[in-house]
Structure 1
Amino acid sequence: MLPDLIYDPAQSGAPSASGWYRSDFAAMNAHPRLPLLLRRERYERAASTGDHLHLNFYALYLVRGGQGIHVIDGRPYGIVRGDAYLVAPGSVHSYRDYEHLELDALYFQLSLFSEAEIEALRALRGFWRLFAARDDTSNVEHRLHLPPETYRWAESAVEDLRDEYEATQLAAPLLLRANVFRLLVFLARFHERSARGTPRKSPTPAMLTAESVVSRARRVCEERFAERITVAQLAAQAFVSPAHFCELWAREVGMPPAAYLRQLRLEHARHLLATTTLEVAEIGRQCGFSSAAAFARAFGAAYSLSPRAFRVSRR
């Protein structure tokens, strides 16, 4: 049987210390031979599910019925039957003010696809438009609403996926993987066709350049430097493998991602030390350091001063 979900707020467990629930793909009841989990999810009625972090996997959602608000990385989206969209790894999301909300969810890791398939998806302009909460400054509509006849095709495609997911024949995983790729290509092409003739700015192949991949990752670091950010999460923002991302980053930036992130944290810490009266330990916490000791070590290594000595020197 497929691991479908009927959400019960009373049995949702406790959030992590960061305030949200964390989902690691390794701990999910995925397909035995593929990095893929298909699940039909039902949310009956409540004000909020609480925040939920997708640590290391993508999510494709197709809304089957009901209504609600899907908040993704702080941005609210009203959702109804026929909506289809992607959520990248590292995203924090929740459902709010929902009523009889039902979705088909496809959770997968990048390793589901070959390098050729990944490049084919990245080359589709409509594919980038499927990602929710990518970049509100680009004036791009980041969700796809399928008209009834098109949604019926997608709904049938999902039912085929569910059948192959449970099948035991040797051919089933091959068909399942191919059909997930086909569904993503179909949605991306439909999104691109539906966007033609509109004044909205459309993503272009320039998004595939090293400069754009790295600039997007740098923006994520600058906006979320206080969080735990991994290379895999940064690579996921551009739908590339971690190894390829590291090659692009090294060429463009000249220092490892971890060093760049540490530099951002220390620069922000310097600003807070010089302009606020916050406790040193609190500044370290707000800047993403795991402990006051870790903050002091990193600060001393970078500036040859302790945080307290730096604060005194600026008064």
Structure 2
Amino acid sequence: MLLTKAPAKSARAFALLAARARRLPSPEHPLHGRRRLPPPLPENIICFQRRNAAELNRPSQGRALHHRHVLIVPLQGAATVCVDDCTHSLHPGKGLVVLPYQFHHYTRTSNRRILWLFVTFEYAQGVTLEPLRNTTFNVSAAMADELRELLKDQRSLSEGGLPELRLALLLSQLTPPPAPGDATTGAGYAEKVIALKVNNEMQRRRPLAPTIRELASQLGMSQSHLRARFAASCGVSLGRHMRGLRLERACGLLRMSSKRVSEIAEQCGYGSVYSFSRAFHAAYGLSPRAYRNQMADAGAPRAEG
């Protein structure tokens, strides 16, 4: 009898394993396997918490915009997360992943005392998380256990790669498997990450506003080729995207900081208040000052001091 000494509790597990093993082939050369490139793992993981609702928008420099992924898991207290043009009500049991270069801030907190877990990370294979864009997910008990183990490994400063492996497994549970032919390497992958490369370069040069010529030179391609690839990948022209990033950042600073309009213009790469006001009015139909007043009347969060 197979595995007669196995505990009764494990008998079914061993039986299923045996059934699966019987389906395996018997190769002539068992020492010759099939090599696969190891998949990239999340890197530079940072885990932290916020216990006060006022800390959610810290640092108070307008709506957050950066190159990292942000996994948000509320454990106590509720609030609304504004991501790009979408709003998401988060509470214990409901999580969200903010992708790189998504503008985001927090509002409508249920109370001042909260406990929210944040896991931020860099991920070369980040395009596989696109299905999570602007989509909340349910935090199961099993996921909570995995997060607890992740925090334990991270706190112990494990050098064996366990936090990265745990996070990769957790993320794989949140995203569907890639469809046949949906390659994450080669030309298809390059098209998907062109926006990330552009955004990385714009972020690196802030507060200066790079020209398309400078971006193309940095990315090793002609201006026309960069424009064509970006439009094909993102469905919007590169120039419009660059203007949108600068103006969206200006909106966050107007809404959430007490900086003067002239300071915000300079911080967003405009050479003068006039050029900033003209671009802002063309995009939103009102002046920066009028926008700030409108947001204040609507109760938008504002940085203290």
TM range (shorter): 0.3 to 0.5
Higher strand proportion (structure 1 or 2): 1
Normalised to the residue count of structure 1, the TM-score between the two structures is 0.44
Q: Which protein, 1 or 2, shows the higher relative CO under an 8 Å CA cutoff with sep ≥ 6?
A: 2
